[in-house]
Each structure stands twice: as structure tokens, then as C-alpha cells.
Amino acid sequence: MKEPSDKIIDNYIERITTFSQNFQGIPTSEELDKIVSGLGITDEQISVVQVEAQAYFIRAKSYMKLKQWDDAIIELQEGISLNPFSLEMICCLCEAYMGRWQLKHRRGDAINIQSTAKKCFQIKPDCEVTMNLLYRFNRLKKWRKNSRILTSIIIISIPICIVPTIFVYYKPLQLIILSNPFIASLISQNAASEILAKHLQESMEDLKIQQSALREEVNSLKNEQLILKSNLTLIQGKQLRILTDEQKSQKLQ
């Protein structure tokens, strides 16, 4: 059995690919027959190409079940290069781009989803699989946009001190917070700040207790001082009376 890498087959693939890229739409059966006859391709060679394309397709579906999107996309691109008008493979490629976009959110994959879906509609304008995929893609894209806006509002408008409360009691927002490394970092920093604030508060309470004890001690010293002054005044009064009495006694003598 001949390999699909034969020069004639390569020319066939090149002609088909060029046709699909020249904005001429999908070739009719007559146009395909004309390309095949012009290149001198036999039915056996066409069968080899179809078998090889199907092998790529089967491997791609296996990779997709494992969510290995990069490998699936490579296999599908190879298969589509052999059979560029296979609606099944093109729809599958669109689904693979969708899977990788959901995982990595690359702009290139979002563009590829839309361009690949357009090719599906060129082959079958009412392709239900593609319509459902585009509907799901647009909903997810809108949700992701809204989540980014909400995240920005949280960062700008809500004090960091109340974020843990929202995190605990508002489950939808919890998902957004967990998916945002910046907010998760803020929460971690806030937790550390709370621990530090707790230690500072405890230190302040200890200082207040010590201050209160010092005030009581000062008040006690002031009371002792007043008592001493009072006693000193009494002693001075007694001494003054004694001296006065002695002076009177001397005058009488």
C-alpha cells in the first residue's frame, strides 16, 4: 500500500488546501473530481489518504478524552490537511480549541474557535454541534469578563479587612477569589496582618493594665504624702505650743 506522502498525494493535499484558502468556499464534487483527474490520482491513493486521515482523527479523539488538548489539536490539524472538508474533524478541532481555551484562556484559542466554527458553517450552515459550542463559548466568555470586572470592583471598593467575611459567606465570589492569584495573595497578607494586629492588641491591653497599676501606685503614694504632711503639721504645732509655754514660764520666774 502506498504511503500518503507520495508526491502525487502531496500535490493533491496542496491543491485542496489552496482551494480552501482562496475564499472559494467548499468545492463541489465536480471540482474535486477535476482536481483528482488533473493530478492523476487513483482511487486506491484516495483511499490511502482517507484511511490516514481517519487514523489522525481516532488518535485525536483519544487525546481529547484525556484532555490533552495540545496533542489532540496537532492530530486534528494533520487529519484536516488530508481531508480539509471533513465536518466531523473540523467540529472536533473547534471543540479541542474550546477545551484548551477553558484551561489556559489564550486569546489565540478564542480566535481559532470562531474561525474554525466559521468553516463548519461553510460546510453545513445549520450545524447544531457548532451552534451549541459557540453558544457555550460566548456564555463562558461573558461570565469570565464579568468576573474580571467584579474582581476589579472588589480590589478597588472593598477594604481588605472585610474580604474574609465575603469569602466565607458568598460562595460565587469565593470561586472568583480562589481563581485570582492577586486576591489570594491579599487574603494571605491580610491573615498575617490580622495575626500581627492581634499581638499588638494584646500588647496594648497589657500596657493598659500596667498603666492602671501605676496610677493606683501613684495615688497611694499621694495619699501617704498627704498623711505625712498632716502628721508633720501636727508635730510642728505641738513643738510651737511647747516653746510658747516655756517662754511664758521663764517670764513668770
Q: What is the pLDDT of residue 50?
A: 85
Of 110, 142, 174, which residue sits at a domain end? 142
Residue scoring higher pLDDT (155 or 72):
72
When pLDDT is averaged across residues 153-171 and rounded to a whole number, the result is 55
Same domain, 15 and 138: yes
* CATH number where 82 lies: 1.25.40.10
pLDDT single digits (tens) 186-225: 556 666 566 666 767 777 787 788 778 778 877 877 777 7
What is the model's pTM? 0.55
The count of structural domains within the chain is 2
Report yes or no on 151 lying in a domain: no
Mean pLDDT of the chain: 76
For 73-108, the pLDDT digits (tens) are 999 999 988 888 889 999 999 999 999 999 998 999
The predicted model gives 171-187 an average pLDDT of 58
Q: Does 176 lie in the same domain as 126? A: no
Do 20 and 138 belong to one domain?
yes
Range of the domain at 138: 7-142
Per-residue pLDDT at 130 = 93
In a domain, 193, yes or no: yes
Q: Are 14 and 44 in the same domain?
A: yes
Query: Is residue 87 domain-resident?
Result: yes
**Residue 161 above 70 pLDDT?**
no
Do both 116 and 236 map to the same domain?
no
Task: Write the DSSP string, the chain.
Answer: ---TTSHHHHHHHHHHHHHHHTT--SPPHHHHHHHHHHHT--HHHHHHHHHHHHHHHHHHHHHHHTT-HHHHHHHHHHHHHHSTT-HHHHHHHHHHHHHHHHHH--HHHHHHHHHHHHHHHHH-TT-HHHHHHHHHHHHHHHHHHHHHHHHHHHHHHS-GGGHHHHHHH-HHHHHHHHH-HHHHHHHHHHHHHHHHHHHHHHHHHHHHHHHHHHHHHHHHHHHHHHHHHHHHHHHHHHHHHHHHHHHHHHHH-
Q: Note whether 211 and 111 are same-domain residues.
A: no
Note whether residue 2 is domain-resident. no
